[in-house]
Homo-oligomer: A and B are copies of this chain.
Amino acid sequence: RYVPVDHTRVSFDAGFWKSWSDTARDVTIPTQHMRLDEEGFLEVLDFDKPAGPLARPIQPSGLSMQHFFDSDFGKWIEAASYTLKNNPNPDVEAKIDAIVEKLENGQMADGYLNSWFIRREPEKRWTNLRDLHEMYSMGHLLEGAIAYYQATGKRRFLDVMIRAIDHIIDTFGTEPGKLRGYDAHEEIELALVKLYRVTGDPRHLKLATYFVDERGRMPSYFDEEARRRGEDPADYVYKTYAYSQAHVPVREQTQVVGHAVRAMYLFSAMADLAYENDDPALKSACDQLFDNLTGRQLYVTGGLGPSASNEGFTREFDLPNETAYAETCAAVALGFWSHRMAQIDLDGKFTDALETVLFNGALSGISRDGEHYFYENVLESHGQNRRWKWHYCPCCPTNIARFITSLGQYFYSVKDGEVAVHLYGANTAELDVDDIFLRLQQDTAYPWDGDVRLALGLSAPASLTFRLHIPGWCKKARILVNGQEIDFAASMEKGYAAITRDWKDGDEIRLSFDMPVERVYAHPAVGEDANRVAFKRGPVVYCVEQADIGTEPQRLRIIRDAALKPRFDADLLGGAVVLEGDALEADAGDWSGTLYRTTRPSLKPKAFRAIPYHLWANRDEGAMQVWLTEE
């Protein structure tokens, strides 16, 4: 089992991630607090005042978005905290402290903590775990509290949340007199594992384990609970508990179903518990679900959950482009899950999934200016999809924020005498492996270029194994140690090349990944992508935007064997490699008012360029397409 190197020890001083992480810290964090304030999300904490009118109405499910406002500022605190250790910011700290003060003030004597129920419906607390997100909200507060404690050493928020968890331990479980419930929206489970790693308190791990094991047991707690409320369980608005991955016990689940974010949070917690409890059965369930997801239900961008109606999965191979829901949160959470899997089982397929969301379907959720967002990450648009300043349900902005502000943690892991390098991108990292202090400097223009230089600073010579991820997209890689090419084929294991030797200060590893423009095709069962092609270069998926070609990309016909030329365009939104080439365009000029005709549209030459998908919708409004029609 590997241990990730903490994000505070990885700095992006140059390269691809520098501007994204600087912007997250300097723009995203402060503007998100402004939005939370403007939109009334923080007002819910004014426990001394009478509750005002709802900022978000009650939906047919009985849920108001306001039920889980706590989760939004919880996630904001978490995201903000990740920036504080290396970049102390008294203003941000003061804002967090103010929230914590109010939370502590509102917390009930028995530890219960949820702004909605305390203030509006205290008698209804713990009566509807199926719909009302109480533990989901507490989970996000807990993750925020842990991050804030780790960043600042301040325990107040953490102590508040430990009291809240004590209350949950008193209330839920298999012991007589306790409720055998669990929250329909997973989240607290993975937060509890994080807490356990801070406190070492086995009760915290046990509670997480209970929630995961209890899930999906029949007869369903949600039925029981509905009847206690005097409701018919059959009236459940989402019809099936598969919506919450609670239709069968988690170890029996083989197909990824239901709400995509819920699924990813659950699977992340399952991976955490497989890791902490050394539980191969849970790991094996995760493996099967991971293969189901990546083999049958994942967009090429790493987006997931095609349908808006359940914010999640439908049938296998259902990957519509224009109506893709592909929520930012779900892609971020697939990053969480993949990363966790790789710590138990160093397999490049997990790291590939992480890299895919990182450069594509998650990163697309935030604008280049750091203060506009996508909730849905479509793969095709006629221009109707624009980024939001804030969202009606703003779960995604804070999720992508916490992903970016803690990004460093995904790069390296260590275990006895081993350093695993998962991701590439310029950074400087400090690692402790065994008793050795290792300073690693990655110099690279990755993902724009496949050459990576890893310079080693060592406190003392050491025999170490480097496990270097060879990305799944790469068909030809070279590795040089101190200028000398090495043959790593025999050492390759599940997508990682192993180099074991005695290392000394000043040593250098060079990796060179061939990074041609690739044409990507989808499985024949994906009807939407029939005769369509997507372009990828390295880990970056491309799209064509109307802003670049002056016409809808839907009219392009990509010539089968035309070569595309990559070119670094320093002027494009901070600089990016674009792809340029010649295609054809279906000509509307000879259609004279008819919508259908019996002759094929005529085609005319058309030069085009493609830009990284994650950069789309940062310029003029217009159509966009990832999967282009191939002639």
Say yes or no for A557: interface residue by CB 8 A criterion: yes
Question: A384: which B residues are within 8 A, CB to CB?
Answer: 315
How many residues of chain A have a CB within 8 Å of chain B? 50
As a 0/1 sequence over residues 293 to 337 of chain A, the CB contacts with chain B under 8 angstroms (1 = contact) are 011101010000000000000010010101100000000000000
Say yes or no for A9: interface residue by CB 8 A criterion: no
B296 touches A591 (CB 8 A): no
In the complex, A523 Cα to B522 Cα: how many Å? 25
A521 touches B629 (CB 8 A): no
As a 0/1 sequence over residues 379 to 411 of chain A, the CB contacts with chain B under 8 angstroms (1 = contact) are 010101000000000000000000000000000
In the complex, A530 Cα to B587 Cα: how many Å? 12
A631 nearest in chain B by CB position: B531
Contacting residue for A382 out of B527, B534, B631, CB 8 A: B527
Say yes or no for A371: interface residue by CB 8 A criterion: no
A596 touches B531 (CB 8 A): no
Residues of A that sit less than 8 Å from B by CB = 291, 294-296, 298, 300, 315, 318, 320, 322-323, 380, 382, 384, 518-527, 530-531, 534, 552, 554-555, 557, 585-588, 591, 593-601, 623, 625, 629-631
A552 nearest in chain B by CB position: B527
Most chain B beta-carbon contacts within 10 A, residue among A318, A384, A523: A523
A-B contact pairs, 10 of them (CB 8 A): A294-B595, A380-B527, A521-B600, A522-B595, A522-B596, A524-B587, A525-B554, A525-B555, A525-B588, A531-B557
Question: A629: which B residues are within 8 A, CB to CB?
Answer: 530-531
A521 touches B631 (CB 8 A): no
A518 nearest in chain B by CB position: B598
B296 touches A521 (CB 8 A): no
A295 touches B593 (CB 8 A): yes
Question: A314 CB to closest chain B CB, in angstroms?
Answer: 8
15 more A-B residue pairs beyond the given contacts A323-B323, A523-B591, A530-B555, with a C-beta to C-beta distance below 8 A:
A294-B595, A295-B595, A296-B595, A300-B595, A320-B323, A521-B597, A521-B599, A521-B601, A523-B596, A524-B585, A525-B555, A527-B554, A527-B625, A530-B557, A530-B586
B382 touches A318 (CB 8 A): yes
A530 touches B518 (CB 8 A): no
Question: A315: which B residues are within 8 A, CB to CB?
Answer: 382, 384
Question: A300: which B residues are within 8 A, CB to CB?
Answer: 595-596
Question: A540 CB to closest chain B CB, in angstroms?
Answer: 14
B594 touches A523 (CB 8 A): yes
A556 nearest in chain B by CB position: B530
Question: A601: which B residues are within 8 A, CB to CB?
Answer: 521, 523-524
In the complex, A519 Cα to B380 Cα: how many Å? 27
Question: A527 CB to closest chain B CB, in angstroms?
Answer: 3
Question: A525: which B residues are within 8 A, CB to CB?
Answer: 552, 554-555, 588
Question: A555: which B residues are within 8 A, CB to CB?
Answer: 524-525, 527, 530
Most chain B beta-carbon contacts within 10 A, residue among A521, A526, A595: A595
Question: A605 CB to closest chain B CB, in angstroms?
Answer: 15
Question: A53 CB to closest chain B CB, in angstroms?
Answer: 14
Question: A530: which B residues are within 8 A, CB to CB?
Answer: 554-555, 557, 586, 629
Question: A531 CB to closest chain B CB, in angstroms?
Answer: 5
A520 nearest in chain B by CB position: B596
